[in-house]
Structure 1
Amino acid sequence: MDAGLYRAAREGNIEDLIQNKDHLESQLTPTNNTVLHVAAQFGHIQCVMEVLNTCPSMYRMVNSGGDTALHIAAREGQSTILRALVEYANALDEELEDGVGTAKDMLRMANAVGDTALHEAVRNHHPVAVQLLTREDPEFCHPANCVEETPLYLAAERGYVGLVFVILETCSAPAYGGPGCRTALHSAVIHNHEGSFGSLQGCTKKLLDWKGGLAREADLQAWTPLHYAAQFGHLSRVRELLNTDKSVGYLTDKDDKKTALHLAASRGHVDVMQELISHCPDCWEIVDGRGRNILHLAVKNHKKRAIKFILQDFSLSSLINQKDIDGNTPLHLLAASDCYAPLLVNHPKVDRMAFNKESLTPLDMVYSDGYTGLLWDSTKRSLINAGAVLGQRDVARSDNDELATKEKYHLHDKVLPAEIRRAANTNLIVAALIATATFSAGFTIPGGYNSSNGRDQGMATLTRKAAFKAFVVTDALALISSIAAACSYSVVARDSDRIVLLKHDTIGYLLLIFAMGAMVLAFVTGFYAVLADSSGLAVTLCIMGCFPFLINHFFQRKVW
């Protein structure tokens, strides 16, 4: 395109456009944009009208991407240009062969990737443009583009609830599909922005009010919107879907035959599980494609809150000993994993002597699967303490399994003690440092000693203060605990039995944590004793002294 002509279209210089009006159609940019495209992009309405009056056919010309000037204006949100283009098209008297008007034909034109002007307006969130385009052609369904996106789906996916409302209230029968056979309702449920964009809650409700059957429509995996709501733990979405159609709580997917309740149990979303069961009180009876119930899935995925919820609900007690297609009860799955759930092991209704199809009890599973480590030992110990025994149905195979298990553990029995000793050596240094620091603090006490002659000579000057007494006690506790931890770690250094190592390493760790806490308290109380007259500073130090406990509590909860 001529540089002067392009500059005139970009800057809205009508005079230069008029001077070059004889060859406007032949002037194109590298991407085949016409002068009308450029003027529409930059929002120069007078230039647009001048070009249309000069070259009436230019409104239908497309660039290399298949975009008309209407696409460009919709993408940029130039609502004035959109209105002018539509009015101009309506003013033309010509009719296409199929009887569709010129304006509607322009509105329905798709570019190279199948986007109409409404796609562009929705994607770039231009509400005025969306209102104009939908009101001009309300009967059009606005179908999907080349990647199966409809304008309604895009609006729901991006959380543009206002645009969803406009499309639903203006168009008589808009298309609502998306990629993977998902619907706009799938998208609204998946992209739940309730925390940041509370309006999306209205989006889901609006879609359900518009077409309640969307709640039952499934995607390529046969997942309904309720499946996704349960998977992601969107409680509000679950409630809205169930209030519309309770039967969706019984629908299963294509591959694993899982209901929404199965997914909620697998993810540990207890609040969603409660909502599903309250609306569909018998949906917990459904098993998945492998014959597993919700307790199986909660155990398999180590969801302890879900396990606790199921075990505490008396109406769900029949799930405790139910077997899957392999004959495994939830306790079998617990024994074969590294999940530690004593609540299930010690439940009064659990069958600890149940056999699966391989004639194995849960305790047999503990030995046969070869798990090791603290959780393995804890699970084995809790099963034995609860009364679980070996099945002994196939003694010959049991002997072979025992031999194989010993071979598995042979290397582990060498590796694990070495790892424990390395960790113990580090903790032993920490214990020694705490002992040294607290020992020194015991003789360099806060406030010093009384140097005046008399019977109090050599006594601590702050002896009568409560904070000083607390300092002495906590400092002594820190010293004693650190020395005890060092003694426990010394056993780790010389013993070779794995169980003994684990036991003493755990004891040493707990003593070390206690010593650290006591040392912090000694620090706080010692400073408080000498800063009692400055209450603000003393209280500030006390508050700061609580930070290590809060941080440790936070990380301990994360770990466990």
Structure 2
Amino acid sequence: MVHIPAKQQVRWRPRVRRRPRFRWQPRHKIASAGKPEELEQNITCMDASFYKAAAEGKIEVFNNYQEPDLASHKTPNHDNVLHVNLATHELAAWFSNGILSSTRSLPKLYFFIFLFLWFFIIKKKSEKRSNLIGQILNKCPSLLLQTNAKGQTPLHVAAMNGHSAIVKLLIKSCAKARDGDLEMLEMGQVNAVREMLRITDQESNTALHLAVKYGDVEMVKELLEHEDPDFQYSANNNQETPLYLAAKRGDTGMLSILLEISNSTGHGGPHSRTALHAAAMAGDIAEATTIILKKNRNLIKKRDEDGHTPLHYAAHLGCISVVEELLKTDVSAAYIGDRKLGMTPLLMAARQGYLGTVRKILFYCPDCCDKVDKRGLSLLHYLAFRDSPHFLFIPGGTKPEYGSLRNLRNLEGDIGFTPDKVSDFIRHEQPFTADLREKPIEDMLKAIAREKVAEFPVLPFHLRTVSAESLEKSRDTNLVVAALIATVAFAAGITVPGGFKGEKGLEEGTPILIHEIAFKAFVVTNALAFIFSICALAIHFGVNDLLLSRIPFWITDITLYQTRSASNLLSRAITVTVIAFSTGSYVVLKPSHGLAIASCFICPAVYFCYYIEVFIAWVKMDL
């Protein structure tokens, strides 16, 4: 046996498995789709006091900071100090820029308003911000071209928030112009400025895109003055050029500046549309259309991917002045049909029920009414769909100036009905023949109601859903109410509040309260209630029935007319009856001040309760 010295003897100890030491590492999050989601690294944040000072423009906070510190302070969106300050939108600046944009077409008024706003609003509000931006850029010029998470420079943010004076300051800082002189720049300085102006954000917007989008005319002018007139501005991710954005706004001042200063402004837009399409879609602003046509007359017949010309959009939206301006330029655009249905601008205007636009198109090109769409529907069909029988479509004949429409009266189209029969179906619940009860017309109306021109839908059709039986019930109810109001008004007129004078003499039988103002108001309102109710009764009894009893297919129209007219008269009769009761109660209860005052609240209380009930019913219907 080998002897082991005591020092060398090792006592047995149980082995304990120690947990290995791991260095903490960020774990990947598992997305809902099962793929690991990368954990965001280098999250930045800005000190609260620093952020508030930047937003509020407190320059004294930044006096102790130098370039490295100013450049390192960023928000999670990677906004630097300039981004934060310029993102604070001034209401005064926005208001003044809006006024200047809307009055630019009136030079004298524009000049006066500009001077007033400059001295009292713009100059005062922008000086403090300009001082802050200028001092920060002197300490840290690198902030000028820094971009945030959206790819926006401080110039983008200034353009978005209407800071015209700051835009000029940023351009000066970029050019490093001495004494603020931007007219005597060297070529290197000019190239530096243009490079900054052409920086695009993640949506491919330059500062000019944003200035046009937010409607700042002065800023657009400032940006274009330092750009190459022959530079072609590209479209953003929405395929919108600066000119297209200005036309989309219908801003005539903006359009004038863009077309005057820039020689190569792109007219293109999304879906193969042009700036003239956008101007036609902006509303009834003929001046915007005129400005674009003076620059490029050929745009009038340009078609988008759906085959729509600017005249199609103007006719669909009912912009009469724009339609007239386009037709004055080239009437041949009125004969172009779209790709899907072959609809001309005339048919689109009739489909919407814009009779004034239809008149205008027929005035410049009356023979375009001969064209029908791919469904075989003519101008008369669409007018009949809109229940416009008194315009062009007259039973038994047409106006002489629209003689070419006679050929369209026998066209049936895909629905298999002539315009006369369609009109009868729309106007009357009980038409001539049984075949009109079939569904082709209703199906066609539903299909037309689902159609759109770009993002603008077709106006809904108002079809009659009231049956003759329900109209008769409403008529009977109106008769009862009218008779009741007439009876009460007659009785109140004979037995007036306060009674009559019984003394013999000239004033015998006259009302005692005849000189009271409230009594006079009672007499007038009570008389009106009696007149309205009697008129409602007269409408129901024999006036129109006697005249039109031999025209059976107008019976529903007569009943509907009677019911609506009587309902309108009865609503007025009820109103003046409540007023008559209130004034009558007041004149009788006048000696008691409390009761007299309470009687004054009768009329407001009635209508308050009525509107409360209407509101509750509306809420229940919504739920």
TM-score scaled by structure 1?
A: 0.63
- Confirm whether residue 328 of structure 1 aligns to residue 377 of structure 2: yes
Cα distance in 2 for residues equivalent to 1:144 and 1:500: 68
Which residue of the other structure, out of 143, 148, 162, is the alignment partner of 2:204? Answer: 148
| CA deviation vs aligned residue, 1:218-256 (integer Å, no higher than 9, x gap) | 22222223223222324132232233333222222211x
- The 1:333/1:80 distance shift into structure 2, 3 A limit, reads same
Cα distance in 2 for residues equivalent to 1:182 and 1:483: 62
Deviation at 1:471, TM superposition (A): 9.8
Which residue of the other structure, out of 367, 391, 400, is the alignment partner of 1:343? Answer: 391
Q: Which runs of 5+ in 2 are unaligned?
A: 1-41, 89-127, 175-191, 443-462, 515-520, 546-551, 584-623
Deviation at 1:421, TM superposition (A): 4.0
Aligned twin of 1:299: 350
Cα distance in 2 for residues equivalent to 1:365 and 1:217: 43
Cα distance in 2 for residues equivalent to 1:417 and 1:260: 45
- Give the letter for the 1:67 counterpart: D
Identity %: 22
Deviation at 1:275, TM superposition (A): 2.1
Aligned twin of 1:263: 313
| CA deviation vs aligned residue, 1:418-448 (integer Å, no higher than 9, x gap) | 4324533543344234322432244246997
- Give the letter for the 2:313 counterpart: L
- Confirm whether residue 122 of structure 1 aligns to residue 159 of structure 2: yes
Aligned twin of 2:78: 66
- The 1:450/1:209 distance shift into structure 2, 3 A limit, reads same
- Give the letter for the 2:202 counterpart: C
Aligned twin of 1:190: 248
- Please say if residues 298 and 306 of structure 1, whose CA atoms lie closer than 8 Å, have aligned partners that are also in contact: yes
Written as runs of structure 1 = structure 2, the 5 A alignment for 1:443-522 is 443-444=494-495, 451=502, 453=504, 477-478=531-532, 480-485=534-539, 487=541, 500-511=555-566, 513=568
Deviation at 1:177, TM superposition (A): 3.8
Cα distance in 1 for residues equivalent to 2:330 and 2:168: 40
Deviation at 1:317, TM superposition (A): 1.5
- Please say if residues 336 and 344 of structure 2, whose CA atoms lie closer than 8 Å, have aligned partners that are also in contact: yes
Deviation at 1:481, TM superposition (A): 2.2
- The 1:51/1:203 distance shift into structure 2, 3 A limit, reads same
| CA deviation vs aligned residue, 1:49-105 (integer Å, no higher than 9, x gap) | 64327x58x637755433344544544685345434544567xxxxxxxxxxxx5xx
Aligned twin of 2:418: 361
Written as runs of structure 1 = structure 2, the 5 A alignment for 1:172-251 is 172=228, 173=231, 175=233, 177-192=235-250, 201-211=252-262, 214=265, 217-235=267-285, 236-251=287-302
- Confirm whether residue 171 of structure 1 aligns to residue 171 of structure 2: no
- The 1:354/1:64 distance shift into structure 2, 3 A limit, reads same
Cα distance in 1 for residues equivalent to 2:419 and 2:328: 32
Aligned twin of 1:51: 65
Aligned twin of 1:276: 326
TM-score scaled by structure 2?
A: 0.58
Deviation at 1:450, TM superposition (A): 7.0
- Give the letter for the 2:213 counterpart: E
Which residue of the other structure, out of 88, 103, 109, is the alignment partner of 2:146? Answer: 109
- The 1:287/1:486 distance shift into structure 2, 3 A limit, reads closer
Cα distance in 2 for residues equivalent to 1:48 and 1:455: 94
Aligned twin of 1:79: 130
Aligned twin of 2:54: 41
Aligned partner of residue 410 in structure 2, secondary structure: coil
Cα distance in 2 for residues equivalent to 1:47 and 1:415: 73
- Give the letter for the 2:79 counterpart: D
- Please say if residues 488 and 504 of structure 1, whose CA atoms lie closer than 8 Å, have aligned partners that are also in contact: no
- Give the letter for the 1:282 counterpart: S
- The 1:517/1:121 distance shift into structure 2, 3 A limit, reads closer
Give the total of aligned pairs.
Answer: 442
Cα distance in 2 for residues equivalent to 1:134 and 1:353: 67
Aligned twin of 2:599: none
Task: Report the more deviating stretch, 161-170 or 241-250.
Answer: 241-250
- Confirm whether residue 161 of structure 1 aligns to residue 217 of structure 2: yes
- Please say if residues 37 and 68 of structure 1, whose CA atoms lie closer than 8 Å, have aligned partners that are also in contact: no
Aligned twin of 2:22: none
- Please say if residues 482 and 533 of structure 2, whose CA atoms lie closer than 8 Å, have aligned partners that are also in contact: no
Cα distance in 1 for residues equivalent to 2:525 and 2:259: 65
Deviation at 1:131, TM superposition (A): 1.0
- Confirm whether residue 31 of structure 1 aligns to residue 19 of structure 2: no
Aligned twin of 2:30: none
Cα distance in 1 for residues equivalent to 2:485 and 2:511: 23
- The 1:129/1:444 distance shift into structure 2, 3 A limit, reads same
Aligned partner of residue 343 in structure 1, secondary structure: coil
- Please say if residues 226 and 249 of structure 1, whose CA atoms lie closer than 8 Å, have aligned partners that are also in contact: yes
- The 1:455/1:69 distance shift into structure 2, 3 A limit, reads closer
Cα distance in 1 for residues equivalent to 2:553 and 2:373: 35
